[in-house]
Structure 1
């Protein structure tokens, strides 16, 4: 009974269950529920030397063994980088740890500098593709092994990779000492390259001879899919612009209800400079930028900013407001961000909405229209992205706006998940 309790405890703690396990733990058993598409960027620069390059290969072979490569679990690929990068193993090339280990043994050092940034750009644009074996349903993970420091910049390349859905880990071996830090191309490159500076996505190793000890800690992290929060999802991949009708017909009380609706939608997203960003425009005959994308990168601050928006009062020029939003917000949208516009209005516009809406649609903006009371159905449909029934909503009373929150979030996520991944 005592032995059975210990096994149950370890299984629960490590989520590790395999039919061949005698005592389930990370030292002796691979983890059965580790389904990730995992790519290693191995350092092939001349600075590493032949002996250390061999240690690196041994490390990768042990990782392959530990994760138990297989089509139903983790798939593993390798890119070697130096001056340039070369794909050694595609994700779909091998379907067992034994095959991956055999292929690793045949890898020959390429030499050159340590151009990590170029390699990260490659995995972002090409490596995680369907042709190379990307499964779509499994998280994309890239582990960068660095001897010393990169010889090019990594921050921008890593950010774009993360925004494309790739979780970036850095394993740094024998980093620069105080006398060498002046050689760094990009100071604090690890903190700039990973999405969280809490130590989860970075693993410093004091020497090459201690690298073997990093196998199990690294495997445990890349298999912890609940903490792989850096990949692009429907909740952290957007630039969302709220276009809010502040006309006289709305009234002060109803305007506060609209702001609560905006806050309730915003609350569902992951908010930061590298996650979802939110901007807001209020309009009457004129337009006012309440706050821009990235002005508030903390959810609490953003919700407070929404709450502080002052009711304007005036006419209703929805078409001009859409054009203004495109110029003031979406022209500053980040690459790889999904551009989403949510127009909220209670009446017919005094100007044309069809041409401005068509223009933003052509810019790749996904437009939602929310009409209340006297809003014109034909205008709501012009504003909304096709199909209208998924992007256009109407309610008789302001107090019923809250009912649309889960539907809009569901549609945003369903649409995102139906798109092919990079």
Structure 2
């Protein structure tokens, strides 16, 4: 009997233990299931402002497309709560334009918010706002419970258009971080907003923005919220240094980590020395090794502080020092409107080279110059005697820059002396009067003069015509890389007086014009145009504008229509200047459309000089109306 009782007790204990273990296991499984339950992250639209959400800290999911400028953002790093939550997340770099989850935390209002351009979003400046927020990656903080549904300050839906009171609104002062005690009122929807003590925010006392101030969505705001002037104005940049600047930095393996850091520090110091801004210099950085890559373009950072921060984050690429490939890359890709090129500002590329390039730079630099880019070279620690055999292009710097007068090049004996070039470099790139390699209407053309030397002109008048040609030529920057000048004289026959590649200075061109001898004969203008196309413009450089300036005193003995059409189809811009007995309708046929801008008539040779400024003005007006690169 005792044995049976013991057996029954053992069975009961065993069953109890099984149930206990099973219960514990079930609880663990339940706990695991609870842990596996995903946190429900609320979604918001791109236009939702932080001030419309009452929760002091929350995680939300943003959709794609919030980079659009219509979603306004105010501030940098710390944003006014009038900003789009998702737009601020893109601006700060936490999200890209494809959207995603972010953590948002409300903080106290700021005395001023500084605008900047970052990650494709232009944030605006704001004098002050009662509440701010910061965004970060959506990593939940320990001990913090995040809402699965947001509480909004208005009964309207998140996607609804902002109501009349566009400022953040709260049901009580406790709900708003940093709130001051005040009197509550209600807006048109019935939601309460906080009115600071002593502030009259009646509808009759709204302040409209003055010119130059930030204009908010609703068009006006309570005047207690904003003043019309920022406490910390954002610099628009130095207007005396309005250049578009690209730095090509050496990231090759040979430079080493230490010297690469010195190079980055030099760039950061340049960014500090230049007052970066939309009305002044803009700067981007390309690093080259085996292949070049753009770290940031002219649009990316529009103030010196952001630029310095971005430079500090650059990492070395390694590989060979293919500077020539990098220059070609910059010529084709960097100075475009999409990348922030402003068209009217000189384009400058500064190439830093450790030792020497591992590829050729002369041809790439020539094409860059002919595209209007001012090439500067800074070489550090050049080849010693036993290394010169490895240099592909001896004297490569003088071949790369457009002037050999030392203005466009620096040589530094040691990386530790690089900082000494900072001030001279800044001074030179900002000296827009001396940046002669910028593409302008006066230095980017091949100009062919086609001069009537027929008997009706006469010796005296022919000298007047040559003076007219000289006066026009004087207006241009003449060199083998700038504007080039050639001349043809014609009667029944044609003669090449000098071609585009004959003279490379203004003085030589003017002397050549002076030496042209009067020929005398008939007037075959059509044949002369064909001859100029074959003997002059056939040898024009691809990136040059082709200008033909034809001067005649009479009607042509041959047809001018077909030769003129051939010139137009070949992209030669033709100016026709008639004197005395020239036929007006013939001039208009020769001239590029519209004829009123490209044909001129003087009743006397002595009046030709009057047309010099008009022709130059028309040439430049036409040039400036075209895309620059």
Match of 1:286 in 2: 493
Following superposition, the deviation at residue 226 of structure 1 comes to: 2.0
CA-atom RMSD, angstroms? 1.4
- Taking the TM superposition and a 5 Å limit, the aligned residue runs for 1:145-294 are 145-294=352-501
Q: Aligned pair 1:48/2:255, yes or no?
A: yes
Partner residue of 1:115 out of 322, 343, 352: 322
Following superposition, the deviation at residue 403 of structure 1 comes to: 0.9
Task: Report which of the two has the higher share of helix.
Answer: 1
Following superposition, the deviation at residue 185 of structure 1 comes to: 0.7
Following superposition, the deviation at residue 335 of structure 1 comes to: 2.0
Match of 1:333 in 2: 540
Work out whether residues 144 and 169 of structure 1, in 8 Å CA contact, stay in contact via their aligned partners in 2: yes
Following superposition, the deviation at residue 72 of structure 1 comes to: 2.1
Following superposition, the deviation at residue 217 of structure 1 comes to: 2.0
Match of 2:564 in 1: 357
Match of 1:143 in 2: 350
Work out whether residues 238 and 276 of structure 2, in 8 Å CA contact, stay in contact via their aligned partners in 1: no
Following superposition, the deviation at residue 32 of structure 1 comes to: 6.1
Quick one: distance in 2 between partners of 1:398 and 1:61? 60
Partner residue of 2:332 out of 125, 129, 148: 125
1:377-405 deviation line (CA, Å, top 9, x unaligned): 11100110111111000111111111111
Match of 2:135 in 1: none
Quick one: distance in 1 between partners of 2:280 and 2:483? 30
1:78-137 deviation line (CA, Å, top 9, x unaligned): 000111100001110011222112211221211111111111111111110000011112
1:35-80 deviation line (CA, Å, top 9, x unaligned): 2111100001111111111111111111111112222221110000
Work out whether residues 246 and 284 of structure 2, in 8 Å CA contact, stay in contact via their aligned partners in 1: yes
Match of 1:414 in 2: 621
TM-score (norm 2): 0.61
Q: Aligned with 2:470: secondary structure?
A: helix
Q: Which runs of 5+ in 1 are unaligned?
A: 1-19, 21-29
Quick one: distance in 1 between partners of 2:481 and 2:267? 30
**Greater CA radius of gyration, 1 or 2?**
2
Q: Aligned with 1:179: secondary structure?
A: helix
Quick one: distance in 1 between partners of 2:505 and 2:420? 37
Following superposition, the deviation at residue 298 of structure 1 comes to: 2.1
Q: Per chain length, whose mean CA-contact separation is higher, i.e. which structure has more relative contact order (CA < 8 Å, sep 6+)?
A: 1
Q: Aligned with 1:411: secondary structure?
A: helix
Quick one: distance in 1 between partners of 2:279 and 2:484? 35
Work out whether residues 71 and 95 of structure 1, in 8 Å CA contact, stay in contact via their aligned partners in 2: yes
Following superposition, the deviation at residue 212 of structure 1 comes to: 2.2
Work out whether residues 272 and 294 of structure 1, in 8 Å CA contact, stay in contact via their aligned partners in 2: no
Count the aligned residue pairs: 394
Q: Runs of 4+ in structure 1 displaced over 4 angstroms?
A: none
Q: Which runs of 5+ in 2 are unaligned?
A: 1-231
Match of 1:93 in 2: 300
Q: Aligned with 2:287: secondary structure?
A: strand
Match of 1:394 in 2: 601
1:169-200 deviation line (CA, Å, top 9, x unaligned): 11111111122112111111111111111211
Quick one: distance in 2 between partners of 1:278 and 1:216? 37
Quick one: distance in 2 between partners of 1:330 and 1:85? 35
